Amino acid sequence: MSTETVKISRLGAQGDGVAQTETGHVYAAFTLPGETVTLAVDRTHGTLMSLKEASPQRVEPKCRHFGPEGVNGTCGGCTLQHASDELYHAFKRSLVIDALKSKGLTPEVGPLIIARPGERRRVVFTARRTEKELLLGYNQAESHHIVAISECPITSPGIVSRLATIRRIAAAMASSAEPFRITVLETETGLDLAAEGIKLSDKQRRTTVETVLGERGIARVSLNGEIIVEPVKPAIGFGGVTVSPPPGSFTQATREAEEAMAERVLGHVGKSKRVADLFSGIGTFALRIARTARVHAVESEDKALKALDFAARKTQGLKPITIEKRDLFRRPMMVQELKVFDAVVFDPPRAGAEAQCHELARSSVKKIAAVSCNPVTLARDLSILVAAGYRITSVTPIDQFLWSAHVEAVATLEK
């Protein structure tokens, strides 16, 4: 461990400031390009000790839980609240541009679709019972320490206003000092709380049910995928189609980002007659596309597919939707299967869709829309398709996780 005064040259991929020292690169949170700072340096990690010369791009954080001076510790939910919008937005867009360049791809990358405070409808809290209280908040970065929050500017007012309610429900479920996770999704009918990592006794189960029924605005509480109490079915809308998501299922974190993605996907698919939606989840794109085209939705999670199918069956005016449970990592759709589709949409997890792209590369599918939460794997997947004759027609970076180093992107391709 040493103390060094250094100049920050740029932002790294995780949002930390990067300084070049005699021993190599050092990464320091809460610093910005152009700043002179004193760091406590441990190999490649620097802890900010003092700010000698601040960047003109430095702004006051929006949340009192943020930064080295944060209340109860440094909340790990945000990394870039101290950066100006200009610097922050350029950084997010550069993550996509740089990833594509690393694979030799230089398409025009559109302006960033920005995120605003209060848009997050899905958040993941950590909870733990102590001798004095129930802690509810986010883990400190690279730590198991829970920063108990009393505000959260990125999260929707519908969730923030019910933090006390969520805390009471978590307290009813907590049986020990072991931490557990609670995913909170704001739906049209109330909050959907999905807990993971604990067990409930019969007494705790009854207490949880009584607590939930005594609170307002709670649609459902589940534990490890099992519904504990459901006063009303959670409901979210996809282009006018109402879906009841399974407990803990994946949804896009903000409605605004989801709409931006869907607009670009639907615009590219256009008048296609048959579309395959791969990694379809509960139907974010499939149910919208079915307004104008036949859709084959492929997903590995059985409960997600059933939710999609049920929503489609009870909605009038949709074209036929077929569903298939399939692990596309192990068993991608093959060239022969793809030949009946005019367009393909894929929205995989962070690992991307490498195996599927190798099959798409050999196919005659005219249009592809690729949605990704990881620019690195997106660039890899697009390079496979471009090498096989596809042309990238647009790339749009979308900020869904405000003040973080994560960025979504939608890329469209034609053959």
How many CB atoms neighbour CB 1 within 10 A? 8
For residue 380, what are its two tokens?
Answer: 């890899």
What does 48-85 look like in DSSP terms, one character per residue?
EEEEEE--TTB---S-TT-STT-TTS-BTT-S-TTB-H
- Is 78 an annotated catalytic residue? no
In angstroms, the CA 314 to CA 323 distance is 15
Q: Which residues contribute to the annotated binding site for S-adenosyl-L-methionine?
A: 252, 279, 299, 347
Residue in 247, 251, 231, 156 with CA at minimum distance from that of residue 189: 231
Q: Choose the catalytic residue: 63, 75, 357, 373.
A: 373
Work out the angle between the directed axes of helices 202-213 and 163-173 (0-180°, nearest 10).
160
For residue 18, what are its two tokens?
Answer: 């990067």
What is the chain's length? 415
What does 221-261 look like in DSSP terms, one character per residue?
EEETTEEEE-SS---EEETTEEE-PPTT----SBHHHHHHH
Residue in 414, 405, 351, 401 with CA at minimum distance from that of residue 113: 401
Which residues 6+ apart lie within 8 Å of 163 measured at CB?
Answer: 136, 149, 150
Q: Under a CB-based contact definition with an 8 Å cutoff, are residues 312 and 321 in contact?
A: yes
Positions annotated as catalytic residues are 373
